[in-house]
Each structure stands twice: as structure tokens, then as C-alpha cells.
Structure 1
């Protein structure tokens, strides 16, 4: 009867490799964007793709784990279905660890946001509303969106200031 030792060793090694596969994938930097750059992530990042920055186009942003949120906001009428990458997943894709980030709008307005918000709530970088890209004239091309209707305690002045519209970059100190 053949020994099972070699089979167990192969099985153990296979399981070890499979369990570390997501780490290997995340360690690979994203390629440079092919489309229009919508977001630049700068600062202390581990996975740059253009110089020392991470540049992302719409397709790349939507490839990051995302979420749809049906909510009303203080800036829009009615309830909308907003879609975009989870900000915690975006920071993971950038290969960063920080206690806060600085989100900057195209008009240079900026807000410091604690990263704990991204873990406590499903905060997204909304790039679509009701299935359509968000235009610059309508808070776009992206904005930081908290799940206001799911978490009514988020409707406060502090969170409103963190909900940057017209996002162009995220800086990690």
C-alpha cells in the first residue's frame, strides 16, 4: 500500500499557497490607467502605478470591491442608488495603512477623514448615481458618500464636512 505522507505534504503545500493567493494578488501594483484619470492617491502608499502615485481611471475604480447604497443626501433630491468603490478597499489597493487621509476636491477644498470611518461604515467613493456616471455639475466625478439612511446618526455637521464632492485626489500622510 502506498504511503499517504507525500500526498499530505502536497495537500498541505497546496492549501498554504491557496490561502496566501489573495495576498500575492494585492501585492501586485495595478497597471497604469488606460482611460482618463479620475483619482490620484498620493503620499505614503505601497502600490504606486505612475511614479510614486496611484492613478485610477473609471474602469479601475469599479474593479475595486464596491457597494451600492440607496440613500438620500443633504445635497440631492430624493433617494438615489449610488455606486462606487469602498474607501477601505481603495486604501487596501493603494497598499497603505494610516489613521487618516486627506480628501481633496477639484476646487482644492479638502477634508481630513479618519480611516476608522471606512471600517465603521460602508463609506464609498460614489461614481455613479442610478446607474449613470455622476457629472461634475452634480457633485462628480466622485464624492465621499456615507450610508446616511442606514445610519441616521451620520447626518451631522462633522460627517457632512467629510463628505467631499468633486473628489480629485486622496493623500495619505
Structure 2
């Protein structure tokens, strides 16, 4: 079941500029991007991520029991916000684990950067602060090892290549 949610986008976001984060930085995007708010990077706090268009994915995953609601911004909204242009992404976790993800995945599918699970923020000890969740609810053929390997949790950065 797809449960979209809409947020208001600031006038600055529509103009192609990024405001500086007001809270702790939880995600840094680098590489082939046009819009930055730090030297050669776009930094986001939770409020900035939650202001991007997103959705709730009601999914079963290999990493949690039962069906859970994951909520966060659409990855394509993030890539559009930073003016990304590339062919692949390097998604890196807090422990420096990384996965290479085709750029097309984040644009074509309703992949989210989940910041909440069942209405609670994801703590670092439980896959937070950001967890890449593929749309297993709307595109069941993605429920396989290829996409499980791209579903990075404890995400800290994305490099556009």
C-alpha cells in the first residue's frame, strides 16, 4: 500500500538553492552536484530531509519482523534538490560500509531515505539515522539480494559519480 505524504517546499528550494542546516548534519551529498550549502557538498539535517517530498512505505523487509511503516523523502527529490547528475551513487554508512547504486534506481523507483519507522525516528543503534528503503510494497520484484545489498542503513553520505 502506498501512502504518499506532501510537504511544503520552501521558495529557496524551488529556486535551486540550499539553505544551511539548522540542526545536526545527518547526511552529506558530494560529487557531481550543482547545489551546495557547504564547501563542495550539500549538507542536510533531519528537518531539511523531512521537508522534501516523500512517502510512507508499508513493507516487509529481511531486517525487521512483520510489516513496518518507513517514512522519509524520496531519493529522487534529494537528487533533484542538489542538482545531481551522474550514473551511479556511492551510499556510505556510519561504519564506512558502502554500496554502489545505479543513479537510475533512485530516479525510477519510489526509493526513500527512511528517517522514521512506525512513526519513531530511527536511532543509530537500530539502522538510523537514515535507511535506504526500496519500494518492496509497490514493486515486489525488487525483493531480492541485489536490492537488499543496496539498502544501506546508518547512511551518512551519498557521493554522486
TM-score normalised to structure 1 length: 0.83
Give the conservation status (yes or no) of the 8 Å contact 1:83–1:128: yes
Gaps of 5+ in 1: 1-21
- Could you tell me how far 1:25 is from its partner in structure 2? 5.0
Q: Deviations over 1:8-36 (max 9, x none)?
A: xxxxxxxxxxxxxx9x8534321110101
Counterpart pick for 2:29 among 41, 49, 57: 41
Please give the secondary structure, in 1, of the residue aligned with 2:66.
coil
Q: What is the correspondence of 1:18-57 to structure 2 with a 5 Å cutoff?
A: 25-57=13-45
Mapped pair 1:168 → 2:160: no
Match of 1:66 in 2: 54
Rg larger for: 1
The two structures, once aligned, show a CA RMSD in angstroms of 1.7
5 Å-filtered alignment, 1:19-168, equals: 25-168=13-156
Partner Cα separation in structure 1 for residue 144 and residue 40 of structure 2: 36
Q: SS at the partner of 2:26?
A: strand
Q: What is the DSSP-based 3-state SS (H/G/I as helix, E as strand, rest coil) of the residue aligned with 1:119? A: helix
37 and 129 in structure 1: CA distance in 2 versus 1, 3 angstrom threshold: same
Aligned residues between the structures:
152
Higher relative contact order (CA 8 A, sep 6+): 2
Contact kept, 8 Å, 2:89 with 2:103, in 1: the verdict is: yes
- 8 Å contact kept, 2:57–2:137: no
Matched-pair contact (CA < 8 Å) for 1:88–1:115:
no
The structure in which a higher percent of residues are strand is: 2
What secondary structure is seen at the aligned counterpart in 2 of 1:70?
strand
Which runs of 5 or more residues in structure 2 are unaligned? 1-9
